[in-house]
Amino acid sequence: MALIPMTITDAQLQHLEMVAQAYEDRSRRAEQRHQTTRGWKWYFALCGVASDTQEFDYSPIARLQRVEEPPTVEELAWALRNKRDFSAIGRYSGGITWELAVGQDRFDNPVAFTIGSAIIAMLRARTCGDVLVPAVADRSWSAIAAVRDGSCVATLIEDVPRARCVTDPLRVAPSDASWVFDHLANFLRLSRTPSFDIAIDAITTHAHQSNLRTAAAHLWTGVEALFGVQFELRFRVALYVASVLEPRGQGRIELYREMKKLYDTRSRVVHGSKVSDDVLEAHLSRVRRLLGCLICDCVERGRVPSESELDEMLLGQ
């Protein structure tokens, strides 16, 4: 087959040289950032995080920090050891705004992964914001553009392109970060409790559902699991939530009444009655906020309230 000669103009050649130089400049800046971000075992990529603070440093456990110039698909292709994942990770990489670096030398890989997953779950419960964790890597997402030898190890975590956002991005304040690290030990102990684990799964993965009704049902599963209610659901769930989250008085009464209405909407949602998307989205936002508050209450107590504790809240002085 004869080759067809192509003519490249000086302007085209100059443009290609500019593109190549831009990648070299990005790689050089990434290598400079590597010197300040190195030393952690794993870096969880976070899409949808916002904060006015530059970083939250809790060495040697973790550091929550901004990502500058996340890698492009082409840079991921150069950097990743597993070439099959670069395209899937690449569809999220432009939206990676923050990362959670976990585990210095004293932590092995399983412990570092457990700590990272716990911190992210706690932030979700505390802030009730939308965040996606597409992947984790052994190099900072601010520095991956400097890797050209295919030595970077990265793994997909939440590959859900159709995930829906129903509230604002996860906005982390210093008080939120402090709360997480003050109660991390409690959370890790509680995560071995089945009912608490169901609640965490609900608040973590409900937004991965493209169907709003399925997402709502998932959230309510988390609420009901915390109380172990098996009968008189509408009455008991409303009463328990109000008793846990509000002291005796008008506030508790108002929350009890609101919970009964929310449960009525829940029944319409899961049983296929007609409900508008606006109502569904408002319902999701409110139930997620309540589930987040319940999870935070359990974390601060260090336990899921027992039946006797709930009875004391209801009937005690």
pTM of the complete model beyond 0.85: yes
Question: What's the rounded mean pLDDT across residues 71-90?
Answer: 91
Question: In the predicted model, is pLDDT for residue 168 greater than 80?
Answer: no
Amino acid identity for residue 211 in this structure: N
> Which residues on adjacent β-strands are paired with residue 155?
136
107-164 pLDDT per residue, tens = 788 888 999 999 999 999 999 888 899 999 999 999 999 999 999 999 999 988 766 6
Distance of CA 313 to the CA centre of its chain: 32
pLDDT at 149: 93
Query: What does the domain layout of the chain look like in residue ranges?
Result: 33-156, 183-315
Model pLDDT for residues 14-36, shown as the tens digit of each residue: 777 787 787 788 899 999 999 88
- Tens digit of each residue's pLDDT (9 = 90 or more) over 218-242: 999 999 999 887 767 888 899 999 9
Q: Residue 69: what pLDDT? A: 94
Other Cβ atoms within 10 Å of 96 Cβ, number: 25
Own/partner pairs, 107-116, CB within 8 angstroms, 24+ separation = 107/41, 107/60, 109/41, 109/42, 112/41, 112/42, 113/42, 114/188, 115/61, 115/62, 115/184, 115/188, 116/42, 116/44, 116/62
